[in-house]
Amino acid sequence: MIESFITKDIFDLLYDSAEHNNCYYVYFENRSLSVCDDDSLKNAVYSYYEEFVPEEVLLMMKSGTEKIIKFMSVDSATMNASAWFPTKEQLGDLPDEYYFNCYVVDAQGVSYRN
């Protein structure tokens, strides 16, 4: 007999984990950049971010997949997320490849989005 399960999306998993671990997560992804074939554009994006993003986070960004960083307080998660990942408005006319969707997730849901 085949048993089926209701699948959870990444946010459901993060909500559950945040509740279980009493923590907060910064989740970010950039689908436009992950499918970009233009190496010069990718390098321009990384050069832009290396001015204000810690090296460890920049390495995560370069890996091209969605990433999650754990924090123990909502204040530190939100402060870092807002410092590292500009809003679309802050990026102005830069192409979509510069914009990383970023969320702070806790047990109740998304508490911040850039």
Question: For residues 26 and 1, which has the higher predicted lDDT (pLDDT)?
Answer: 26
Predicted local distance difference test score (pLDDT) of residue 40:
98
Query: Does residue 4 lie within any of the structural domains?
Result: no
Predicted local distance difference test score (pLDDT) of residue 2:
75
**Which positions ≥6 away from 86 have C-beta within 8 Å?**
99, 114
Number of folded domains in the chain? 1
Query: Does residue 3 lie within any of the structural domains?
Result: no
pLDDT tens-place string over residues 53-103: 999 999 999 986 779 999 999 999 999 999 999 999 999 999 999 999 999
Percent of the chain with pLDDT over 70: 93
On the question of pLDDT at 7 being above 70, the answer is no
pLDDT band at 4 (very low <50, low <70, confident <90, very high): low
Query: Does residue 47 lie within any of the structural domains?
Result: yes
The pair of three-digit structure tokens given for residue 12, joined into one six-digit string? 């459901």
Name the pTM for this structure. Answer: 0.88
Query: Does residue 61 lie within any of the structural domains?
Result: yes
Rounded Cα distance, 60 and 29, in Å: 10
Asked if residue 107 lies in contact with residue 18, where contact means CB atoms within 8 angstroms, the answer is yes
Query: Does residue 1 lie within any of the structural domains?
Result: no
Query: Does residue 30 lie within any of the structural domains?
Result: yes
Query: Does residue 23 lie within any of the structural domains?
Result: yes
**Which positions ≥6 away from 52 have C-beta within 8 Å?**
83, 84
Rounded Cα distance, 75 and 44, in Å: 30
Query: Does residue 64 lie within any of the structural domains?
Result: yes
Domain that holds residue 89: 10-113
